[in-house]
Amino acid sequence: MAGLRRVAGYTAVLAALVIAGGAGTSSRVSERIEQGLLRTVSTVTDYIVARVSAQSAVERPMPSLSGAVEWLNSEPLSRESLRGKVVLVDFWTYECINCLHTLPYVNQWAKKYAGDGLVVIGVHTPEYAEEKIPDNVRRQVKRLGIDYPVAVDSDYKIWHAFDNQYWPAHYLIDAKGQVRYSHFGEGAYAEQEAAIQVLLEEAKAAGSVDNPG
């Protein structure tokens, strides 16, 4: 049964991603997506995750990454420079306990899939005044062992570009530069990793991702 649940959850994420790649955004289509996922997923928890995936996977171009007051661990990145890569954008802030709970997973994905073409970008958007200070962010990034690029979004430029409202929030962008999946809050780590794998496989099949080495 556990194996079937894992397969069902993966299938639901795959279905949402495929739908996002070609379906329209009408309410009738959305209703059919939701009904189809409900039939596919075997547990309530998996259904909730899959439903969020389907709703948030309406395809749209990756918003701009411009406006950060500083970039850590990298030169400034742009959606143009990232074209051809699968990108995970993680909105977080260092005093958010939920963000800190997700960081080990994000760190793991960054290391595990870097060779396959995944680029992880942390967007540090502050909630409190002390979190706006770049030196504080720099110290916390070092303390937390974050090696992937971090945009210090103290002026909320990237936050507003994504129309984001949550900490933590994860957005997956495919190799064509389209937002294909999002997840808000903790949890659903297996589903998120499955979505990463699907987009990497798509990019590999299309010849978009250059594997180093």
Q: pLDDT by residue (tens digit) across 95-106? A: 999 999 999 999
Q: pLDDT by residue (tens digit) across 9-22? A: 444 455 455 545 54
Distance CA 76, CA 70 (A): 8
pLDDT category at 207 given cuts 50, 70, 90 is confident
Q: Which residues are CB-contacts of 54 (< 8 A; sequence separation ≥ 6)?
A: 12, 15, 16, 19, 30, 33, 34, 37
Q: Which two tokens stand for residue 144?
A: 């937390």
Q: pLDDT by residue (tens digit) across 107-160? A: 999 999 999 999 999 999 999 999 999 999 999 999 999 999 999 999 999 999
pLDDT at residue 17 in the model = 56
User: Three-state DSSP class for 4?
Assistant: helix
Q: Choose between 1 and 211: higher pLDDT.
A: 211
Ranges 10-14, 61-65, 141-145, 166-170: which has the least confidence: 10-14
Please state the rounded mean pLDDT for residues 58-64: 87
Please state the rounded mean pLDDT for residues 25-47: 51
pLDDT at residue 36 in the model = 54
Q: Which residues are CB-contacts of 76 (< 8 A; sequence separation ≥ 6)?
A: 65, 66, 68, 151
pLDDT at residue 152 in the model = 99
pTM: 0.73
Amino acid at 1: M
pLDDT category at 53 given cuts 50, 70, 90 is very low
User: Three-state DSSP class for 150?
Assistant: strand
Residue appearing with tokens 């661990």 = 73
C-alpha dist (Å) from residue 6 to 184, 188, 190: 20, 11, 9
pLDDT at residue 19 in the model = 46
pLDDT at residue 59 in the model = 76
| Domain at 61-206, CATH homologous superfamily | Glutaredoxin (3.40.30.10)
Q: CB-side exposure of 151: number of CA atoms within 13 Å?
A: 22
End-to-end CA distance of the chain: 40
pLDDT category at 32 given cuts 50, 70, 90 is low
Asked if residue 107 lies in contact with residue 93, where contact means CB atoms within 8 angstroms, the answer is no
Residue appearing with tokens 């957005």 = 171
pLDDT at residue 200 in the model = 98
Please state the rounded mean pLDDT for residues 65-78: 98
Strands 178-184 and 60-61: antiparallel
Asked if residue 179 lies in contact with residue 171, where contact means CB atoms within 8 angstroms, the answer is yes
Give the percent of the chain with pLDDT over 70. 70
CATH 3.40.30.10 placement within the chain = 61-206
